[in-house]
Amino acid sequence: MEVSRKTTTAAKSARVYLLDEIRGFEILCMVLYHAMYSLKFEFGVDVPVFFESWFDIIRDVFAGGFVFISGIMCRYSRDNVRRGAVCFFIGMIITFVVPFFSSEIKFGILHMLGISMMLYGLFSRGLEKIPPIIGVAVFAALAAFTWNASNGFVGFGGAFRWDFPAAAHNVGVLYPLGILPNEFISSDYFPLMPWLFVFLTGSYVGYWFKNGSMPRMFYNSHAKWLGTVGRATIWVYILHVPLIYGIFSLIFR
């Protein structure tokens, strides 16, 4: 019995190294995608495979995985409101600085994650009263329901569809929710619908991670360098845009 108790306690206190490594891999993929975006739209070098319609699926899978893992990790934070405020503040700095290097970012992944963290922190007492399996089911369903919000509608495939009224698009300031005004442009765009719900789905899965209920492989280190990158994702995100722009400027200009 004593051995079992020690094992459970160790699992609960262990860092989830595999998630760090997955985040590291995903942020590197994001850097590669942004590099291809900059090549095409800033320097006129076409890289067709990255902008084929089928590649959107791959992009969304990687982006969704990153947001989902961020939701899991919020279970480990002592102050999600503070973390979220810092993340959102950095996102706003990027909004003002990036136009000097590349296309503007109006509501990117840092803005979305910052607000998601703050909302989770503010309402965590109520959210934690919901059983994890119910939370996963509800917020995964909401993510699916709002997946096409930025395309102007919500619904479940052909079963139900509701188009946003034109007046909603004309408001012009609802783009953080996914309701886009005409001629909206942002080189990095992650609206709260559906990404907040993806984040919250991850937060409920995080219950099992923190509780030590997941397979041991998640708590073991497999590629330390990827884990290091995964723990420094915000710095990678901050630095990669000016670095990419600087390198490509030297090569092509």
Axis-axis angle for helices 132-145, 192-210 (nearest 10): 160
The DSSP code for 182 is T
- The boundaries of the domain holding residue 43 are 2-252
Neighbours of 211 (CB within 10 A): 13
The whole-angstrom separation of Cα 54 and Cα 56 is 5
Q: 154 phi and psi, to 5 degrees?
A: -130, 160
Which pLDDT value is given to residue 5?
42
Q: What is the pLDDT of residues 75-100, one digit of tens each?
A: 999 899 999 999 999 999 988 887 77
Averaged pLDDT of the chain: 87
Question: Quick check: 202 pLDDT over 90?
Answer: yes
SS3 129: coil
* Domains in the chain, number: 1
